[in-house]
């Protein structure tokens, strides 16, 4: 690679593999394709265009976009000039977007026509924000057309040198499942290392197709796009997840790889039709981004006739912490081995490492671990202790060194001083034929301080009473750890990636 700027990955891709159809976009208007050479040329021109409107090395450039075909060139155009890419979840409210724009001191924000009113509301009166760039049609004195910026000559669009361990390539705000969102600072070195070692585990060959339907404003989506550059992989990009269209795309385009989150996998399973859905081309069906219920894993593997490959990670490590290996049997419930070069251990509440097989908090250390949280020194110090990232996730390591995730530290229910893992009751609830989704949470209790409750969503056409579900749980769980109350929801609140928001469920339940 010509230098340590992550933007050079696209240049290296063109050098290594020559020109090939690198992007296929399946949008509302049909298929649109672009070669890697075309993407590189547009990224170079965009980089020059940004410089002309005052963007410099170190400037923060935000995007509030859905999955659109311009995203790969936008990311590369920002990074190659040494600026920082800030993806913002497009489903956030205007006040939430405003918080991110203000906290990051974002200089330019890129959006599309359908999101422009919300971005305008969020940007109103922000002194740090100098320009709104609009992809597509739209007018206004406050906007600069994207098409205008990529008309520039690309002669000055070369990749610039950066300080790989200090310069921030991507600033990504956490989804806020446990509180106010924090800006995770990921350096060029973090990301280059993540993509390099990630490819050694899952690999890929020129021309193989990866279907990206996870949001490109999440680290999972960014990995799907950029990691494939070093393998010559084709990115089949789709707008927001539609399980029927995803199943059809796998069949029609002979997709080799698809990353999904557990919620996506569940809805693919619900709509799967063995008579018309052909998944035989899949080399890796990757599930990550949240806990996968054992029941869903078993049902999906049986229906699809293939093994699910799991991984585990977080924004703070630029993506993956562990991945199941191709050359190793898939163990049910395992998320695989730590990435090469990453140290990982399990600690107890006192910070001491526990023996193999014992549960505790997962911590890790290595070149993929973030620089810290933007403007939050206390939160950074709490998360990074002597260089070890304290993930807040609970799990254990088996005798082979594989990692199993059991829950979140903050999701533990402390009943009368005893720690109760909500995942155990959730596992049993998912075995009930009427349950579509569930979340076991702490509810206030005068005697124990916290008691065990469960929020559930029933499958369409299914019925179940609270008494029936409590009796079912009582047959399988000790009375002390079994839920004592059931709350019925039409749907569970989730992040943009589909993670269940237990904090929001607790708030709703406590207001009832």
CB 96 within 8 A of CB 104: no
Per DSSP bridges, beta strands 257-260 and 435-445 are unpaired
Neighbours of 52 (CB within 10 A): 12
pLDDT for the residue numbered 181: 84
Does residue 235 lie in a domain region?
Answer: no
In this prediction, residue 177 carries a pLDDT of 44
Out of 188, 217, 245, pick the residue that ends a domain. Answer: 188
- How far is residue 73 CA from its own chain's centroid? 20
Cα separation, 140 vs 142, in Å, equals: 5
As given in the structure block, the two tokens for residue 120 are 């305008």
pLDDT (0 to 100) of residue 262: 86
Provide the CATH number for the domain around residue 29. 3.40.50.12780
494 is written with which tokens?
Answer: 């989730």
Tokens at 226, concatenated = 């950029």
In the numeric block, which tokens belong to residue 493? 């609140």
Q: For residue 219, is it within any domain?
A: no
Q: What is the structure's pLDDT at 178?
A: 46
Alpha-carbon distances of 315 from 8, 77, 148, rounded to whole Å: 22, 22, 33
What does the DSSP 8-state code read for residue 343? E
Which domain range does residue 489 map to?
Answer: 412-511
Centre a 10 Å sphere on the Cβ of residue 105 and count the other Cβ atoms it contains: 14
Residues in Cβ contact with 424 at an 8 Å cutoff, skipping those fewer than 6 apart: 477, 481
Among the candidates 127, 155, 188, a domain finishes at: 188
Cα angle 54-160-164, degrees, rounded to a multiple of 5: 110
Domain contains 225: no
Residues 6+ apart with CB under 8 A from 467: none
**Structural domain contains residue 100:** yes
Task: Using alpha carbons only, give the angle 357, 360, 365 rounded to the nearest 5 degrees.
Answer: 100
Q: Residues 8-28: pLDDT tens digits?
A: 999 999 999 999 999 999 998
**Residue 260 near residue 247, CB atoms below 8 Å:** no
Whether residue 278 lies inside any domain: the answer is: no
Beta carbons within 8 Å of 417's beta carbon, 6+ residues apart: none
Would residue 395 count as lying in a domain? no
Using CB atoms within 10 Å of the CB of residue 3, give its burial: 0 to 12 exposed, 13 to 18 middle, 19+ buried.
middle
Question: CATH no. for residue 419?
Answer: 3.30.300.30
CB 453 within 8 A of CB 485: yes
Residue pLDDT tens, the chain, 512 long: 447 999 999 999 999 999 999 999 999 888 999 999 999 999 999 999 999 999 999 999 999 999 999 999 999 999 999 999 999 989 888 998 999 999 999 999 999 999 999 999 999 999 999 999 999 988 788 899 999 999 978 778 899 999 999 999 999 998 654 456 899 999 999 999 999 999 999 988 999 999 999 888 888 888 888 899 989 999 999 988 899 999 999 999 999 999 998 888 988 999 999 999 999 999 999 998 877 888 889 999 999 999 999 999 999 999 999 999 999 999 999 999 999 999 999 999 899 999 999 999 999 999 999 999 999 999 999 999 999 999 999 999 999 999 999 888 888 888 877 778 888 899 899 999 999 999 999 999 888 888 999 999 999 999 999 999 999 999 999 888 899 999 999 999 987 777 888 889 998 998 87
- How many domains does the structure of the chain reveal? 2
d(CA 418, CA 250): 47
Per-residue model confidence (pLDDT) at position 263: 82
Q: What are residue 444's DSSP bridge partners?
A: 450
**151: in domain:** yes
Last residue of a domain, one of 188, 220, 251: 188
pLDDT of residue 179: 54
Residue 157: Cβ within 10 Å count: 25
Residue spans of alpha helices (H) in 158-261 = 188-202, 219-226, 243-253
């Amino acid at each position: 690679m010509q230098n340590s700027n992550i933007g050079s990955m696209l240049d290296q891709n063109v050098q290594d593999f020559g020109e090939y159809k690198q992007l296929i976009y399946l949008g509302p208007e049909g298929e649109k394709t672009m070669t890697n050479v075309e993407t590189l040329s547009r990224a170079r021109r965009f980089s020059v265009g940004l410089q002309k409107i005052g963007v410099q090395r170190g400037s923060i450039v935000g995007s509030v976009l859905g999955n659109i075909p311009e995203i790969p060139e936008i990311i590369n155009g920002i990074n190659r000039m040494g600026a920082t890419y800030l993806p913002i979840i497009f489903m956030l409210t205007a006040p939430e977007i405003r918080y991110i724009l203000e906290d990051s001191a974002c200089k330019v924000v890129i959006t599309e026509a359908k999101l422009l009113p919300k971005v305008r509301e969020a940007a109103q009166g922000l002194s740090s924000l100098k320009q709104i760039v609009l992809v597509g049609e739209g007018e206004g004195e406050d906007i600069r057309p994207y098409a205008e910026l990529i008309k520039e000559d690309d002669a000055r669009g070369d990749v610039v040198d950066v300080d790989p361990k200090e310069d921030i390539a991507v600033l990504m705000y956490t989804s806020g499942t446990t509180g106010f969102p924090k800006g995770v600072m990921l350096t060029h070195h973090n990301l280059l290392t993540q993509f390099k070692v990630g490819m050694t585990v899952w690999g890929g060959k020129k021309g193989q197709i990866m279907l990206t339907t996870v949001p490109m404003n999440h680290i999972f989506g960014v990995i799907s796009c950029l990691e494939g550059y070093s393998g010559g992989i084709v990115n089949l990009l789709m707008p927001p997840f539609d399980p029927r269209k995803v199943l059809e795309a796998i069949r029609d385009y002979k997709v080799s790889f698809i990353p999904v989150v557990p919620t996506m996998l569940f809805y693919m399973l619900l709509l799967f039709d063995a008579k018309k859905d052909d998944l035989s081309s899949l080399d890796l069906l990757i599930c990550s981004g949240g806990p996968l219920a054992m029941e869903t894993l078993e049902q999906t593997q049986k229906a699809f006739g293939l093994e699910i490959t799991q991984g585990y990670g977080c924004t703070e490590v630029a993506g993956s912490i562990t991945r199941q290996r191709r050359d190793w049997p898939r163990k049910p419930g395992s998320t695989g081995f730590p990435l090469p070069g990453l140290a990982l251990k399990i600690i107890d509440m006192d910070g001491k490492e526990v023996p193999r097989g014992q549960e505790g908090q997962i911590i890790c250390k290595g070149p993929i671990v973030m620089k810290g949280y933007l403007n939050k020194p206390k939160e950074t110090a709490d998360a990074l202790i002597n260089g070890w990232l304290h993930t807040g996730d609970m799990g254990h390591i088996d005798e082979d060194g594989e990692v199993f995730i059991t829950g979140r530290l903050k999701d533990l229910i402390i009943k009368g001083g005893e720690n109760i893992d909500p995942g155990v009751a959730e596992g049993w609830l998912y075995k009930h034929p009427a349950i579509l989704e569930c979340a076991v949470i702490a509810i206030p209790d005068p005697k124990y301080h916290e008691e065990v409750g469960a929020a559930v969503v029933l499958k369409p056409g299914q019925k179940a009473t609270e008494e029936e579900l409590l009796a079912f749980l009582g047959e399988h769980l000790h009375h002390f750890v079994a839920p004592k109350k059931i709350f019925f929801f039409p749907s569970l609140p989730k992040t943009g990636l589909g993670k269940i928001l237990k904090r929001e469920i607790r708030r709703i339940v406590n207001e009832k």
